[in-house]
Amino acid sequence: MDSPLSRTREGRPRRQRAATDRDIRHTARALLVDDGPEAVTLRAIARELGITAPALYRYYGSRDDLLEHLRADVVADLGDVLEQRIAGTEADGPARLFAICRGFRQWALTHTNEFTLVFASGATAATSSTAKLQQLSEPFGRLFLLAAGDVLLSDDVALPSDDGMPAELRDDLAGYRDVLLAVLAEAGTDVPADRLTVGTTYLMMQFWARLYGHVTLEVFGNYPIPIAHPDTLFEALLSDLAREIGLA
Protein backbone atom coordinates (compact mmCIF):
# COMPACT_ATOMS: atom_id res chain seq x y z
CA MET A 1 0.00 0.00 0.00
CA ASP A 2 1.30 3.48 -0.87
CA SER A 3 2.24 5.62 2.10
CA PRO A 4 0.84 9.15 2.47
CA LEU A 5 4.36 10.44 1.81
CA SER A 6 4.69 8.55 -1.48
CA ARG A 7 1.25 9.76 -2.59
CA THR A 8 2.30 13.32 -1.69
CA ARG A 9 5.47 12.95 -3.77
CA GLU A 10 3.48 11.58 -6.70
CA GLY A 11 0.90 14.34 -6.45
CA ARG A 12 3.41 17.17 -6.14
CA PRO A 13 4.35 17.36 -9.87
CA ARG A 14 0.65 17.28 -10.74
CA ARG A 15 -0.05 20.19 -8.36
CA GLN A 16 2.99 22.07 -9.61
CA ARG A 17 1.91 21.56 -13.21
CA ALA A 18 -1.58 22.84 -12.45
CA ALA A 19 -0.20 25.87 -10.65
CA THR A 20 2.11 26.65 -13.56
CA ASP A 21 -0.73 26.21 -16.03
CA ARG A 22 -2.79 28.71 -14.03
CA ASP A 23 0.16 31.11 -14.08
CA ILE A 24 0.48 30.73 -17.85
CA ARG A 25 -3.23 31.37 -18.45
CA HIS A 26 -3.27 34.28 -15.99
CA THR A 27 -0.25 35.86 -17.69
CA ALA A 28 -1.71 35.28 -21.15
CA ARG A 29 -4.98 36.90 -20.08
CA ALA A 30 -3.14 39.93 -18.70
CA LEU A 31 -1.23 40.35 -21.96
CA LEU A 32 -4.47 40.02 -23.90
CA VAL A 33 -6.32 42.62 -21.81
CA ASP A 34 -3.44 45.10 -21.85
CA ASP A 35 -2.15 44.80 -25.40
CA GLY A 36 -4.49 42.62 -27.49
CA PRO A 37 -4.30 39.14 -29.04
CA GLU A 38 -1.09 39.80 -30.97
CA ALA A 39 0.74 40.39 -27.69
CA VAL A 40 -0.06 36.87 -26.47
CA THR A 41 3.01 34.92 -27.52
CA LEU A 42 4.84 32.07 -25.84
CA ARG A 43 8.00 34.18 -25.75
CA ALA A 44 6.23 37.08 -24.01
CA ILE A 45 4.62 34.75 -21.46
CA ALA A 46 7.93 33.03 -20.76
CA ARG A 47 9.60 36.40 -20.23
CA GLU A 48 6.88 37.46 -17.76
CA LEU A 49 7.17 34.16 -15.83
CA GLY A 50 10.94 34.05 -15.91
CA ILE A 51 11.14 30.72 -17.72
CA THR A 52 12.27 29.60 -21.16
CA ALA A 53 9.82 29.59 -24.06
CA PRO A 54 10.46 25.88 -24.85
CA ALA A 55 9.32 25.03 -21.31
CA LEU A 56 5.81 26.22 -22.22
CA TYR A 57 5.50 23.46 -24.82
CA ARG A 58 5.08 20.99 -21.97
CA TYR A 59 1.69 22.63 -21.41
CA TYR A 60 0.61 23.85 -24.85
CA GLY A 61 1.60 22.45 -28.21
CA SER A 62 1.55 25.81 -29.93
CA ARG A 63 0.49 29.42 -29.59
CA ASP A 64 -2.81 28.57 -31.29
CA ASP A 65 -3.39 25.84 -28.71
CA LEU A 66 -2.88 28.36 -25.90
CA LEU A 67 -5.12 30.93 -27.60
CA GLU A 68 -7.89 28.37 -27.95
CA HIS A 69 -7.79 27.62 -24.22
CA LEU A 70 -7.68 31.34 -23.48
CA ARG A 71 -10.65 31.90 -25.78
CA ALA A 72 -12.60 29.23 -23.88
CA ASP A 73 -11.80 31.00 -20.59
CA VAL A 74 -13.08 34.31 -21.98
CA VAL A 75 -16.28 32.74 -23.32
CA ALA A 76 -16.93 31.11 -19.95
CA ASP A 77 -16.48 34.45 -18.20
CA LEU A 78 -18.82 36.14 -20.68
CA GLY A 79 -21.42 33.46 -20.02
CA ASP A 80 -21.12 34.09 -16.27
CA VAL A 81 -21.53 37.85 -16.77
CA LEU A 82 -24.70 37.40 -18.81
CA GLU A 83 -26.08 34.73 -16.46
CA GLN A 84 -25.74 37.20 -13.60
CA ARG A 85 -27.40 39.89 -15.68
CA ILE A 86 -30.58 37.87 -16.14
CA ALA A 87 -30.46 35.91 -12.86
CA GLY A 88 -33.44 36.30 -10.58
CA THR A 89 -35.55 38.11 -13.15
CA GLU A 90 -39.10 37.14 -13.95
CA ALA A 91 -38.70 38.34 -17.51
CA ASP A 92 -40.17 36.28 -20.33
CA GLY A 93 -38.18 34.81 -23.23
CA PRO A 94 -38.10 37.94 -25.42
CA ALA A 95 -37.08 40.18 -22.51
CA ARG A 96 -34.26 37.78 -21.57
CA LEU A 97 -33.10 37.57 -25.17
CA PHE A 98 -32.83 41.33 -25.51
CA ALA A 99 -31.24 41.63 -22.06
CA ILE A 100 -28.55 39.25 -23.30
CA CYS A 101 -28.13 41.37 -26.45
CA ARG A 102 -27.62 44.49 -24.33
CA GLY A 103 -25.26 42.65 -21.99
CA PHE A 104 -23.23 41.34 -24.92
CA ARG A 105 -22.80 44.85 -26.29
CA GLN A 106 -21.84 46.28 -22.91
CA TRP A 107 -19.30 43.50 -22.34
CA ALA A 108 -17.81 43.98 -25.82
CA LEU A 109 -17.38 47.73 -25.30
CA THR A 110 -15.61 47.21 -21.98
CA HIS A 111 -13.57 44.13 -22.99
CA THR A 112 -12.39 45.17 -26.44
CA ASN A 113 -9.30 42.95 -26.64
CA GLU A 114 -11.13 39.90 -25.29
CA PHE A 115 -13.95 40.53 -27.78
CA THR A 116 -11.34 40.73 -30.53
CA LEU A 117 -9.85 37.35 -29.61
CA VAL A 118 -13.18 35.53 -29.40
CA PHE A 119 -15.31 37.21 -32.04
CA ALA A 120 -13.03 39.10 -34.40
CA SER A 121 -9.85 37.05 -34.68
CA GLY A 122 -9.00 34.33 -37.17
CA ALA A 123 -5.98 33.14 -35.23
CA THR A 124 -7.50 30.22 -33.34
CA ALA A 125 -9.00 26.85 -34.08
CA ALA A 126 -12.42 28.36 -33.49
CA THR A 127 -12.52 29.47 -37.11
CA SER A 128 -13.31 26.01 -38.46
CA SER A 129 -16.90 25.16 -39.35
CA THR A 130 -16.99 22.35 -36.81
CA ALA A 131 -15.71 24.60 -34.04
CA LYS A 132 -18.31 27.25 -34.88
CA LEU A 133 -21.06 24.67 -34.42
CA GLN A 134 -19.49 23.48 -31.17
CA GLN A 135 -19.60 27.03 -29.83
CA LEU A 136 -23.36 26.64 -29.47
CA SER A 137 -22.64 24.39 -26.49
CA GLU A 138 -20.31 26.92 -24.86
CA PRO A 139 -21.64 29.19 -22.09
CA PHE A 140 -22.39 32.27 -24.21
CA GLY A 141 -23.67 30.40 -27.26
CA ARG A 142 -25.85 28.13 -25.14
CA LEU A 143 -27.31 31.04 -23.17
CA PHE A 144 -28.13 32.97 -26.32
CA LEU A 145 -29.62 29.92 -28.01
CA LEU A 146 -31.76 28.96 -25.01
CA ALA A 147 -33.20 32.47 -24.85
CA ALA A 148 -33.94 32.29 -28.57
CA GLY A 149 -35.55 28.87 -28.04
CA ASP A 150 -37.88 30.33 -25.40
CA VAL A 151 -38.88 33.02 -27.90
CA LEU A 152 -39.65 30.39 -30.53
CA LEU A 153 -42.00 28.66 -28.10
CA SER A 154 -43.95 31.89 -27.58
CA ASP A 155 -47.25 32.27 -29.40
CA ASP A 156 -46.44 35.96 -29.84
CA VAL A 157 -43.78 35.21 -32.44
CA ALA A 158 -44.83 35.20 -36.08
CA LEU A 159 -42.76 32.43 -37.64
CA PRO A 160 -41.57 33.10 -41.19
CA SER A 161 -42.32 30.77 -44.06
CA ASP A 162 -39.57 28.81 -45.74
CA ASP A 163 -40.33 30.66 -48.96
CA GLY A 164 -38.72 33.90 -47.82
CA MET A 165 -35.10 32.79 -48.14
CA PRO A 166 -32.72 32.02 -51.02
CA ALA A 167 -33.20 28.45 -52.23
CA GLU A 168 -29.43 28.02 -52.53
CA LEU A 169 -29.13 28.28 -48.74
CA ARG A 170 -31.74 25.66 -47.93
CA ASP A 171 -29.40 22.67 -47.52
CA ASP A 172 -26.94 24.58 -45.31
CA LEU A 173 -29.76 25.94 -43.17
CA ALA A 174 -31.44 22.55 -42.84
CA GLY A 175 -28.24 21.03 -41.49
CA TYR A 176 -27.74 23.92 -39.11
CA ARG A 177 -31.37 23.65 -37.95
CA ASP A 178 -30.77 20.03 -36.96
CA VAL A 179 -27.76 21.11 -34.87
CA LEU A 180 -29.81 23.82 -33.16
CA LEU A 181 -32.57 21.36 -32.29
CA ALA A 182 -30.06 18.90 -30.86
CA VAL A 183 -28.31 21.52 -28.70
CA LEU A 184 -31.64 22.86 -27.42
CA ALA A 185 -32.87 19.35 -26.59
CA GLU A 186 -29.63 18.52 -24.78
CA ALA A 187 -30.10 21.68 -22.68
CA GLY A 188 -33.65 20.63 -21.78
CA THR A 189 -35.56 22.87 -24.20
CA ASP A 190 -37.56 20.80 -26.66
CA VAL A 191 -38.57 23.01 -29.56
CA PRO A 192 -40.92 21.24 -32.00
CA ALA A 193 -39.44 20.89 -35.46
CA ASP A 194 -42.41 22.76 -36.91
CA ARG A 195 -41.47 25.78 -34.78
CA LEU A 196 -37.80 25.78 -35.75
CA THR A 197 -38.23 25.61 -39.50
CA VAL A 198 -35.57 26.29 -42.10
CA GLY A 199 -37.09 29.75 -42.53
CA THR A 200 -36.86 30.40 -38.79
CA THR A 201 -33.26 29.21 -38.78
CA TYR A 202 -32.54 31.73 -41.54
CA LEU A 203 -34.16 34.46 -39.44
CA MET A 204 -32.07 33.48 -36.40
CA MET A 205 -28.91 33.63 -38.49
CA GLN A 206 -29.86 37.07 -39.76
CA PHE A 207 -30.68 38.21 -36.20
CA TRP A 208 -27.23 37.21 -34.97
CA ALA A 209 -25.48 38.65 -38.04
CA ARG A 210 -27.08 42.06 -37.52
CA LEU A 211 -26.43 42.08 -33.77
CA TYR A 212 -22.83 40.93 -34.17
CA GLY A 213 -22.20 43.31 -37.08
CA HIS A 214 -23.55 46.29 -35.18
CA VAL A 215 -21.54 45.55 -32.04
CA THR A 216 -18.37 44.96 -34.07
CA LEU A 217 -18.73 48.28 -35.88
CA GLU A 218 -19.22 50.06 -32.57
CA VAL A 219 -16.35 48.31 -30.78
CA PHE A 220 -13.86 49.22 -33.51
CA GLY A 221 -15.26 52.69 -34.18
CA ASN A 222 -16.22 51.85 -37.75
CA TYR A 223 -19.65 53.45 -38.00
CA PRO A 224 -19.92 55.05 -41.47
CA ILE A 225 -20.86 58.39 -39.84
CA PRO A 226 -20.16 59.96 -36.43
CA ILE A 227 -22.82 58.89 -33.92
CA ALA A 228 -23.47 61.17 -30.95
CA HIS A 229 -25.96 58.79 -29.31
CA PRO A 230 -24.81 55.18 -29.85
CA ASP A 231 -27.16 53.86 -27.15
CA THR A 232 -30.15 55.20 -29.07
CA LEU A 233 -28.89 53.63 -32.28
CA PHE A 234 -28.49 50.25 -30.59
CA GLU A 235 -31.96 50.38 -29.08
CA ALA A 236 -33.33 51.21 -32.53
CA LEU A 237 -31.61 48.08 -33.84
CA LEU A 238 -33.23 45.97 -31.12
CA SER A 239 -36.61 47.46 -31.97
CA ASP A 240 -36.10 46.56 -35.62
CA LEU A 241 -35.08 43.01 -34.70
CA ALA A 242 -38.11 42.66 -32.42
CA ARG A 243 -40.46 43.68 -35.21
CA GLU A 244 -38.77 41.29 -37.64
CA ILE A 245 -39.50 38.34 -35.36
CA GLY A 246 -43.08 39.49 -34.83
CA LEU A 247 -42.78 41.06 -31.38
CA ALA A 248 -44.27 44.35 -30.34
Count Cα neighbours of 235 within 13 Å in the Cβ-side half-sphere.
4
Q: What mean pLDDT do residues 164-188 have?
A: 88
CB atoms within 10 A of CB 16: 10
Average pLDDT over residues 32-59: 93
pLDDT at 4: 44
Classified by CATH at the fold level, domain 1-61 comes out as: Arc Repressor Mutant, subunit A (1.10.10)
Q: Is the separation of the CB atoms in 211 and 237 below 8 Å? A: yes
Q: Which of 91-95, 144-148, 218-222, 237-241 has the lowest mean pLDDT?
A: 91-95
The percent of residues above 90 in pLDDT, for the chain, comes to: 48
Nearest-5° angle of CA 230, CA 231, CA 237?
90
Which span out of 14-18, 92-96, 104-108, 128-132 was modeled with the highest average pLDDT?
A: 104-108
pLDDT at 222: 95
- Architecture in CATH of 73-244: Orthogonal Bundle (1.10)
Question: What is the mean predicted confidence (pLDDT) over 18-46?
Answer: 92
Q: What average pLDDT does range 5-18 have in this prediction?
A: 48
pTM of the shown model: 0.85
Residues of the chain with CATH 1.10.10: 1-61
CB neighbour class for 2 (10 Å; exposed up to 12, middle 13-18, buried from 19) = exposed
pLDDT at 126: 43
- 18: pLDDT strictly greater than 60: no
Range 217-244 average pLDDT = 95
In the chain, which segments carry CATH 1.10.357.10? Answer: 73-244
Q: Examine the pLDDT at 3 and tell me if it is beyond 60.
A: no
For residue 19, name the pLDDT band (cuts at 50, 70, 90): low
Asked if residue 246 lies in contact with residue 156, where contact means CB atoms within 8 angstroms, the answer is: yes
Q: How confident is the model at residue 94 (pLDDT cuts 50, 70, 90)?
A: confident
Half-sphere exposure of 23 (CA within 13 A, CB side): 15
- Higher pLDDT, residue 178 or 162: 178
Greater confidence (29 vs 131) lies with: 29
132, pLDDT greater than 60: no
